[in-house]
Amino acid sequence: MTDERIDAGDGVVLRPFRIGDERSLVAHANDAEVARFLRDRFPHPYTDEDARAWVEFNRELRPTSNFAIAVGGEVIGGAGFVFGDDVHRFSAEVGYWLGRAHWGRGIATRSLRALTAYGFERHGMVRLFAGVFEGNEASARVLEKCGYTKEGVARRAAFKGGRFLDVWQFACVREDALRR
Ligand SMILES: CC(C)(COP(=O)(O)OP(=O)(O)OC[C@H]1O[C@@H](n2cnc3c(N)ncnc32)[C@H](O)[C@@H]1OP(=O)(O)O)[C@@H](O)C(=O)NCCC(=O)NCCS
């Protein structure tokens, strides 16, 4: 495990975005089924310009907080952290998405498990958390498989696609991770 590259096993690697990723990024990200469970800042439609701007933005960011999920050199998704500050500086939000063609093969689970270990070990985080829009059973399952616990429901916390949605709050604290 280095600062820049996380080996998630079985050929899945989390690494920084780089120039040349734009085409596969658009191919996998430009999908309403991917965007529907993500924040509106994940654009839909996802254009070439969105991909270019995302790669450019992340190229300069250190430490790397947004990773490409790559298999066989192709970017098939993304995963990353939003680090807290002030009294929340030992907490980080985790996020992830995967191109639909690759769903159902355990790749998100593999990626989140590796990202979680990296967050605790490399960044010294004590709490990692995620907010899942109501109905996103696949994501809830991924979090459970990676040792996250559903702590509660933030009722009507998100406004997405013209509707208010409950947000399921999941978290994993360092002690949970050490027990596994
Ligand atoms: C959520 C997402 C990342 C899952 O990726 P994935 O690689 O298919 O996930 P995995 O294969 O590792 O695991 C999925 C699990 O959910 C289960 N699952 C899938 N759809 C389900 C459903 N409708 N109801 C219940 N469980 C479901 C699978 O059976 C599997 O669990 P299992 O291993 O116990 O059988 C992917 O669907 C995605 O990118 N969605 C859009 C973006 C998103 O929702 N990101 C997360 C925001 S919080």
Per-residue pLDDT tens for 106-121?
A: 999 999 999 999 999 9
Is residue 1 situated within a structural domain?
no
Residue type, position 140, single letter: A
pLDDT tens digit string along 131-156? 999 999 999 999 999 999 999 999 99
Q: Where are the alpha helices (DSSP H) in 30-166?
A: 32-35, 48-59, 107-121, 137-145
Is residue 155 situated within a structural domain?
yes
pLDDT tens digit string along 65-76? 999 999 998 999
- Looking from the CA of residue 131, the nearest atom of ligand 1 is 48
Q: How confident is the model at residue 2 (pLDDT cuts 50, 70, 90)?
A: very low
Distance from residue 171's CA to the centre of ligand 1 (Å): 17
Q: Domain limits at 147?
A: 6-179
Is residue 20 situated within a structural domain?
yes
Is residue 12 situated within a structural domain?
yes
Is residue 37 situated within a structural domain?
yes
Distance from residue 59's CA to the centre of ligand 1 (Å): 28
- Looking from the CA of residue 34, the nearest atom of ligand 1 is 41
Pocket test for ligand 1, best of 142, 146, 148, 165 (most atoms within 8 A of CB): 142
- Looking from the CA of residue 97, the nearest atom of ligand 1 is 39
Eight-state DSSP code of residue 64: -
Q: How many domains does the chain have?
A: 1
Strand order in the sheet with 163-173: 6-9, 12-16, 66-71, 74-83, 91-98, 127-133, 163-173, 149-160
Ligand 1: residues within 6 Å at CB?
A: 34, 37-38, 96-98, 103-109, 130, 132, 136-139, 141-142
Is residue 104 situated within a structural domain?
yes
- Taking CB atoms within 8 Å and a gap of at least 24, the contacts of 93-97 are 93/128, 93/129, 93/130, 93/131, 94/119, 94/128, 94/129, 94/130, 95/38, 95/130, 96/69, 96/142, 97/29, 97/34, 97/38, 97/42
Nearest CA to 94 out of 51, 130, 144 is that of 130
92-118 mean pLDDT = 98
**Enclosing H/E stretch for 26:** helix 22-29
Dist CA 174 CA 18 (whole Å) = 31
Confidence (pLDDT) at 3:
55
* CATH number of the structural domain spanning residue 172: 3.40.630.30
